[in-house]
Structure 1
Amino acid sequence: MSTLTIEQFLHQDYSKQTVDSYMFAINHFLKLNPKAKRYKYKNIVQYMEKISQQQPNAKYRVVILSAIKKYYDYLVMSEYRQDHPCKKLNIKVNSNQAVQVQDLFSSEELQLLLTRENRYENLDTRNNVLLNLLIYQGLTSDEIIRLNVQDVDLDAGMIYIKSSTNLNRRKLQLLAKQILLFSKYINEIRPKMLRSTTDKLIITKLGKPIAVNSIHAMIEPLKTLFPDKNLNPKTIRMSVICNWLNEKKLALEHVQVLAGHKWPGTTEKYIKVDSLQQRELINRFFPI
């Protein structure tokens, strides 16, 4: 059996704020359910149904269920249990409700994606540019493959993103450290890689415009950095938007513009539940 405490177990994957939030929900769950260690699926469903009756806001219910799931993850890891009673239990949320921000990546975690080197310098620079667009500008894979060289204005330090069916066009600022990288790629590396006539910014090692599946393939080897999380271009973008709101404390309206969202409600889904407010709600609806 593992000698790790559940709190130490959580700290392996989550920030202190998330761990504190999870521990509060777990301790509350255990106080109300002293036999929880032997609970089956139906017992947890009943508990979540009680919460649902008292607290209709899915944002809070998602956090509580996520914490309970981690409790049973810990029991399985510690060999107290062989099975996980609620691994497949999920909260139904509609498009206007919260994103499960606790499963996303912090800015520090996203930075780790840039530490992996490629043995080929050309690909290393190209991959760096691509990752930069994902973790600093929060672009979608589709937006990246549609970028042209002309969309990058190195003199102004800006990049222009075309509109799509779901997202607005926008003009995003490049960080100072990105300008040198992008300049090297556009002026030195990309011309060496080019094998056909194309204006597309990001090209493959064969010199052709990159496709969405190639972006996913480039991310695939990086998944080993986060074995317990779902790393892909979509979750990277979601993490960036979440961090703009919750780490950098940018205004909702500003983040809406940066993300290209057509409606503020879409951006609002990324706001994290305030830990203190969450505790007050749990105590109010489920006093011990």
Structure 2
Amino acid sequence: MTFTEYLQQKRYSEITVNRYTGYIERFLAWLNAENIDAALFTYNELLSFMGHCQRNGVTKRTAYGILCVIRHYCNYLIHEGKRTDNPAAGVFIRGLVRKLPANPLNMEDLEELYKQYSIQLNVDASKKIMFGLLVYQGVTVGELTRIERKDIRLKEGKIRISGTKTTNERTLDLNAIQVIDLQQYLDKNKWKEGKLFTEGRRKDISEKNINNRLQHMFSQLKQLNPKVINAKQIRSSVITHWLRKHHLRQVQYMAGHKYVSSTQRYQLNNLDDLKNELANHHPMA
């Protein structure tokens, strides 16, 4: 099996496969120039290659992309029985800036916002449920699009969030108030198959449809709390809250992150919150 076939087997898109192939060819060309066997290169030699990239003007963002592909390539070699280790597993790019949505909300604000939004008579049930999933399960907009009726397990009080090429599957607890709303919603919509937020008996639902509903939802939410920005801000706030209560690896699972580094970046929000709290209560303030 070739590396390209390995990626295709992992169900990566054609665009991603082509990009990954181009990155790995760059690395293999360097190994060849250095007379290093791809099945035998070491951690130190990988660091030398990263230094080579830096000296040749490769940006940190691109270097990070190349490094991720080398990790995949090592896993491919392990799969093929050509290696027993992955030297790229412990290598990270320092100083790589990952932006998070600004102005995270605390959980008390989110729960109060959910209560206020839920009692509005002019808000339909699907929007209430969507907002609840944002607040209590930290789902993404794409995940709202994919949730099916069979993913809701009311008797267990749980919901299954399916995985994708970029996210992991997970099963999360539902809040008690969500169970009540979901039960009423499902009782009203008698069909048992298909997407959760379809209208009528349509089996398909586009992300554009969800985005239109969310746009209207957030217009309403901003009237209740001007600090509200968008769904990404809500998810960022929820993950930040989880990190205060749970172990890093547990939050990685709850958020559906494939890599723990994706979860670690939300710890920056915790640090900023701590700095603000210290500033507010400092004796010299």
| TM-score (norm: length of structure 2) | 0.54
Mark the runs of 5 or more structure 2 residues left unpaired by the alignment. 1-93, 279-285
| CA distance 1:155–1:265, shift in 2 (3 Å) | same
Q: Is the 8 A contact 1:96 1:266 kept in 2?
A: no
**1:119 counterpart = 2:121:** yes
After the TM superposition, which residues 76-155 of structure 1 pair with which residues of structure 2 at under 5 Å, given as runs?
A: 97=98, 99=100, 103-111=103-111, 112-116=113-117, 117-120=119-122, 123-155=123-155
Question: Contact 1:220–1:232 (CA<8 Å) still a contact in 2?
Answer: no
Deviations 1:7-30 (A, max 9, x none): xxxxxxxxxxxxxxxxxxxxxxxx
Q: Counterpart amino acid of 1:115?
A: Q
Preserved contact between residue 145 and residue 195 of structure 2 (Cα < 8 Å): yes
Query: 1:226 and 1:98 mapped to 2: Cα distance?
Result: 23
Q: Give the number of equivalent residue pairs.
A: 176
Structure 1 segments (4+ residues) deviating >6 Å: 276-279
What whole-Å deviation, never above 9, does each CA across 1:197-224 have from its counterpart, x for those lacking one? 96110135x7754623222322222112
Structure 1 unmatched ranges of 5 or more = 1-92, 280-288
State the partner residue of 2:217: 218
**Aligned residue in 1 for 2:194:** 199
Instruction: Compute the displacement of 1:100 (Å).
Output: 6.0
1:253 Cα deviation after fit: 0.6
Q: Which residue of 2 aligns with 1:259?
A: 255
CA contact (8 A) 2:163 2:169 kept: yes
Deviation at 1:118, TM superposition (A): 4.2
Calculate percent identity across the aligned residue pairs: 30
Q: Is the 8 A contact 2:114 2:132 kept in 1?
A: no
Residues 84-123 of structure 1, C-alpha deviations (whole Å, 9 max, x = no match): xxxxxxxxx965557466x111111112133134435xx5
The 8 Å contact of residues 104 and 239 in structure 1, kept in 2 or not, is answered as: yes
Structure 1 residues 277 and 151, CA gap change in structure 2 (3 angstroms): closer
CA–CA distance in structure 2, aligned partners of residues 184 and 169 of structure 1: 26
Tell me the residue number matched to 1:44: none
Change in Cα spacing, 1:125 to 1:165, as seen in structure 2 (3 Å) is same
Q: Tell me the TM-score normalised to structure 1 length.
A: 0.53
| 1:232 equivalenced with 2:230 (yes/no) | yes
